[in-house]
Amino acid sequence: MLTIKNFGVCKVSVAPVRLEPSDSSEIVTQLLFGDAVQVLEQGQPWIKIRFESDGYEGWMDFKQLRYLEDNEHLNYLQSPTVYLHDRFLEITGPLGKQLLMMGSRLPNFDGKSIRIGNDTYTFEKLPTIESNNLILTALEYLNAPYLWGGKSVFGIDCSGFTQNIFKLHGKQLPRDASKQVFEGKEISFEERQVGDVPFFISAKGIVHHVGILAEKNQIIHAAGYVRIDPFDQKGIYREDLERYTHVFHSIRRFS
């Protein structure tokens, strides 16, 4: 019998986390394989969880976690933080064959397998666990469809995109653009360089969109799908729509 405990790790490729305990509730974010959470409220089929990495909270199906004892959880958090840089990679574990996606955490990685609690997973081929080029990492998401709350190559939103990219390059960001805008340091428009992070505001003056400079005058971002568009001091210009779609607010540097 599956027993809910105080801590858990996502054991499926990707799991939706919802605003309310209902399948009809909106997805606010997603867990990728290996993401660790604290269980705030226990129930079946819904549990309320908090991400260990960024403090984000929401509701998910209790069956999608591998639960850990307190000492296993502590060991998990103290294990080296290693993430998958391959777009997709197959593993074999207690559930059989699974497909992991870029950004998945590889707990207790020993060079050829990973472990969650007493469960061992082996790779069909060895994973790529590092990359020096942030923009090449971002380009792996090119054409991924936009999904509110998404964090995978099958669906991602603007802040999930930037959070994933910088996580893979050693910088943990908050989940939402409205919080990411307070990270790093603000730079002037003239100082901008590849890899810097522009933010954009709504008609109400609220930061609601974010992307990464692929070139000084080009931005890669999730809007309909992950795409590259012209960028200037007014904002993002969509050539296919022949208009500006996002109003520039500021640029920040996270490195």
- Name the catalytic one among 158, 208, 246, 249: 158
Opening angle at CA 116, ends 102 and 25, nearest 5: 60
DSSP state of 146: B
Give the separation between CA 185 and CA 236, rounded to whole angstroms: 21
- 199, amino acid identity: F
- Name the catalytic one among 85, 221, 246, 249: 221
221 is catalytic: yes
Give the separation between CA 173 and CA 181, rounded to whole angstroms: 10
DSSP-derived 3-state class of residue 118? coil
10 is catalytic: no
Give the separation between CA 110 and CA 98, rounded to whole angstroms: 19
Q: Which two tokens stand for residue 99?
A: 């497909």
Polymer length of the chain = 255
- Name the catalytic one among 73, 85, 209, 249: 209
249 is catalytic: no
Cis ω for the linkage preceding 198 (within 30 of 0): no
Give the separation between CA 8 and CA 18, rounded to whole angstroms: 17
The dihedral region occupied by 128, where left means phi > 0, alpha psi between -120 and 50, and beta the remainder, is: beta
Q: Which residues are catalytic?
A: 158, 209, 221
